Amino acid sequence: MGRAALADIKGKDFSELAKETKTNTEDTNKVSNTNKNRSTTTSDSSRKKSRRRPKKTTMPAAVMVSPVQRLFDTCKDVFALAGTGIVPTPDKIEQLRAVLDQIQPADVGLTPQMPFFSLPVTRRAPPITYLHIHECEKFSMGIFCLPPSGVLPLHNHPGMTVFSKLLFGTMHIKSYDWVVDVPSNASAVVPPSQTVQHPEVRLAKVKVDSDFTAPCNASILYPADGGNMHCFTAVTACAVLDVLGPPYSDPEGRHCTYYFDYPFTKLSVDEITVAEEEKDKYAWLQEREKPEDLAVVGAPYTGPEIVEN
Ligand SMILES: [Fe+2]
């Protein structure tokens, strides 16, 4: 689903949430007043009893900041100077990672029982659901919901810094970075006997090839390292909160490219030699069209509202 369609969903969702938030705030005020009235008519004995209890303080609604609002506010700060290839400073990176690592599924309105985490009855590839939270020219926030065996195929993030926080479940991440110190003509020398149809392959090095189970820290990739090309495979139903800075943008040359990956040993290139024990750490990546069986559908984000102040 395109960005415009997702934005439409988001707009509708936000207007509905605004009403709900207002109602909840009114209810909170009512409860506060009720408690105040009760305290004036409490007997001495119960007053003594209440003294022994920890004092409950009701924070005014105006200063309560939801975790997702804190995430949004932090993104605004961390990605204030975002642009293609611009990486936030290390302290900003850590700041955002710390906020992300506090996020729980409930903070974004998720439970594993939601229907988009179930396997479909058809034999088709399980659809992946994207819950759009926010997008501006500096950053985007959204959640990919994968049923068991759902796959987000190998794709890149050109000039971007990306935080991926697994909210629940187990997910296998395989990621690569380009190998930059190879002869410039190496990628063109591919024996015709190979089954690879297209000669334009490029050498990449494996960065990550592991299962991750929540709770775990957010993973971060950068324009030139950290595993800029990655593939997500759901071992169990899982959800991953993605923060991209800057977001994909075709006009600004940041479009999503998909790849096949082939074992290093599948192709032989004269100019490139790798020690035998290192060969499984390299692969050949080849651009491909967006996979036909990739189904990513948009659904409304139903977590706490974000206030864009
Ligand atoms: Fe990605």
Tokens representing residue 285 in the block: 């990546």
CB atoms within 10 A of CB 21: 15
> 231 alpha carbon to ligand 1 midpoint, in Å?
7
Distance CA 121, CA 25 (A): 41
What is the dotted CATH code of the domain comprising 63-299?
A: 2.60.120.10
Task: Quick: pLDDT tens for 146-166.
Answer: 999 999 999 999 999 999 999
Q: Ligand 1 centroid to 192 CA: how many Å?
A: 32
Determine the average pLDDT of the residues in 19-33.
32
* Four-point Cα dihedral 309, 248, 235, 126, nearest 10: 100
Confidence at residue 154, expressed as pLDDT on a 0 to 100 scale: 98
Percent of the chain surpassing pLDDT 70: 73
Buried b (16+ CB within 10 A) or exposed e, 31-63: eeeeeeeeeeeeeeeeeeeeeeeeeeeeeeeee
Measure 60 CA to ligand 1 centroid, in angstroms: 38
Find the 211 Cα to ligand 1 centroid distance in Å: 16
Distance 8 CA to ligand 1 centre (A): 22
Weakest mean pLDDT among 111-120, 122-131, 135-144: 122-131
- What are the tens digits of pLDDT across the range 130-150? 999 999 999 999 999 999 999
Cβ burial 169-184 (10 Å sphere, 16+ → b, else e)? bbbbbbbbbeeeeeee
Q: Spell out the SS3 assignment of 199-267.
A: CCEEEEEEEEEEEEECCCCCEEECCCCCCCEEEEEECCCEEEEEEEECCCECCCCECCCEEEEEEHHHC
Residue ranges per structural domain of the chain: 1-37, 63-299
Structure-token pair, residue 43: 């007997």
CA–CA separation, 126 and 296 (whole Å) = 9
* pLDDT confidence of residue 64: 81
Q: How far is the CA of 280 from the centre of ligand 1 (A)?
A: 23
C-alpha of residue 157 to centroid of ligand 1, in Å: 7
| Ligand 1 mean position, distance from CA 79 (Å) | 18
Closest CA to 39 of 27, 56, 25, 24: 56
267 CB burial (10 A radius; 0-12, 13-18, 19+): buried
**3 state DSSP class of 300:** coil
Distance from residue 45's CA to the centre of ligand 1 (Å): 61
Alpha-carbon distance of 128 to 120, in angstroms, equals 11
Q: What is the pLDDT of residues 257-291, one digit of tens each?
A: 999 999 988 877 767 778 888 888 999 999 999 99
pLDDT at residue 119, rounded to an integer: 81
Q: What pTM value is reported for the model?
A: 0.76
Say how many Å lie between the CA of residue 214 and the centre of ligand 1: 18
Give distance in angstroms: CA of 155 to centre of ligand 1. Answer: 6
Distance in Å, CA 156 to ligand 1 centroid: 7
Q: Are strands 296-299 and 128-135 parallel, antiparallel or unpaired?
A: parallel
Which two three-digit tokens encode residue 125?
Answer: 């590839």
CA of 304 relative to ligand 1 center, distance in Å: 24
CA dihedral 177, 102, 245, 220 (to 10 degrees): -10
- Give me ligand 1 centre to Cα 190, in Å: 29
Distance 154 CA to ligand 1 centre (A): 8
CA atoms within 13 A on the CB side of 183: 10
Region of poorest pLDDT, from 34-43, 45-54, 123-132: 34-43
| Euclidean distance between CA atoms 193 and 191, whole angstroms | 5
Edge to edge, the sheet with strand 296-299 lists 219-221, 161-168, 238-245, 140-146, 128-135, 296-299
How far apart are the two ends of the chain, measured CA to CA in Å? 28
The overall average pLDDT reported for the chain is 80
Nearest to 94 by CA among 260, 218, 272: 218
Q: How far is the CA of 303 from the centre of ligand 1 (A)?
A: 22
Q: What is the pLDDT of residue 113?
A: 93
Give residue-wise pLDDT tens across range 56-89: 555 555 568 999 999 999 999 999 999 999 999 9
Residue 38: predicted pLDDT: 30
142 Cα to the center of ligand 1, angstroms: 11
